[in-house]
Amino acid sequence: MVFDFEATDDFLFIFNLYRVALSFIRFCCYRDNIYIPAVTLSSPYKGATHLNVATLFVFNRSNAASEDELKKGRVIRQEYLSGKEGAILEDIANNLLYMRHWPDSYESGRTITEARFVMITAAFEWEFRKLYPGGVKHSKKTIDAENHVIEQLTELKDQATGKERNIYKQLIRTVRNDSLQSEISQVGKDFADIITDFGKRLYHMNGEELNYNDMGLRLSMQRNDFAHGNLGKDFIGLAFLDLVFMERIIYAMQLKYYGVDDINIRKAINELFNCGLRIE
């Protein structure tokens, strides 16, 4: 990976370029324990050539890095992202690519905790808002019903005072709030050609059937338990499986957002998560 920029002695700028490059590679590997121990700094020399003038060493947990998964091909190949790298790097630099849900390592990524659950569902909603700025697509019948309800609530709000008026305001805001369940159903419909084969295989291997509406309901219920502090409740069993599938869905949404074609999205997901599908 090569960055070309004007001559500078701003080492914070150079380090930020390093950070962006590192996050890009972590994005391609879906884990944090990827490190770049050294960066070569070059300067123009005799026209079209460059002369290596310094090496930037970054001291970190490089001894904790693992190359095993790279050797097994669990990575998004550069050829699948060809021509899209600049947009991804720019979003990373501007903190527009959601990264908080990445596991620390491949092994830790196989464990679902309350924190990972929240971060993965948050990543899905972050990417959903980017792809669907207008929210879930509703039928004219639904939109008309929502408008009617809003009109009625507005009339009641205008007649109320104090706390009652504030309650009506809150109710009006919730009329068009899309639920996690409806968002998952929408993505399942729009991304069916890309992701459904992965979901069917995953659920079939576990003796279950894929249903996006049921998946959304389970994840919504589980998240509500976490949001309201009901940690003593049993984890909804299939919600584990739903969350594993959601990790694949998030990558499909991200890659689609950057304009990667469908076949390369499928190849990238298949190899990154070692899904074992035959993609042609």
Q: Where are the beta strands (DSSP E) in the chain?
A: 38-45, 49-57
Positive or negative, the CA dihedral 59, 68, 90, 102 is negative
Q: Distance (Å, rounded) from C-alpha 53 to C-alpha 275? A: 44
The band of 256, judged by pLDDT with boundaries at 50, 70 and 90, is very high
pLDDT of 136 above 80: no
Which pair of structure tokens corresponds to residue 214?
């049921």
Which pair of structure tokens corresponds to residue 260?
């990667």
Per the model's pLDDT, the better-predicted residue between 67 and 271 turns out to be 271
Is residue 194 within 8 Å of 266, Cβ to Cβ?
yes
The band of 225, judged by pLDDT with boundaries at 50, 70 and 90, is confident
> What is the residue-averaged pLDDT of the chain?
83
Give pLDDT, residue 275: 92
Reported as a single tens digit per residue, the pLDDT across 155-177 is 777 788 887 777 766 655 555 55
3-state class (DSSP) for residue 216: helix
Give pLDDT, residue 2: 82
Per the model's pLDDT, the better-predicted residue between 206 and 155 turns out to be 206
- Report CA Rg, the chain: 23
Q: Distance (Å, rounded) from C-alpha 165 to C-alpha 125? A: 30
User: 47's torsion region: left (phi>0), alpha (psi -120 to 50) or beta?
Assistant: left
Q: Distance (Å, rounded) from C-alpha 201 to C-alpha 194? A: 13
Give pLDDT, residue 23: 94
pLDDT of 97 above 60: yes
Q: Cα–Cα distances in Å, from 261 out to 79, 80, 81, 235, 265?
A: 12, 9, 9, 36, 6
User: What whole-number percentage of the chain has pLDDT above 70?
Assistant: 82
Q: Which of 18-27, 88-97, 145-154, 268-277 has the lowest mean pLDDT?
A: 145-154
Q: Which of 8-17, 43-52, 145-154, 209-218 has the lowest mean pLDDT?
A: 145-154
Question: Could you tell me which residues are beta bridge partners of residue 38?
Answer: 57
pLDDT of 13 above 60: yes
Which pair of structure tokens corresponds to residue 170?
């809150």
Any idea where the domains of the chain sit in the sequence?
Answer: 11-135+178-272, 140-175
Is residue 201 within 8 Å of 277, Cβ to Cβ?
yes
The band of 108, judged by pLDDT with boundaries at 50, 70 and 90, is confident
127: how many CB neighbours lie within 10 A of its CB? 22
Question: Could you tell me which residues are beta bridge partners of residue 51?
Answer: 43
User: What whole-number percentage of the chain has pLDDT above 90?
Assistant: 42
Give phi and psi for 41, each to the nearest 5: -105, 130
Per the model's pLDDT, the better-predicted residue between 192 and 43 turns out to be 192
pLDDT of 143 above 60: no
Is residue 208 within 8 Å of 187, Cβ to Cβ?
no
pTM of the shown model: 0.81
Average pLDDT over residues 76-103: 94
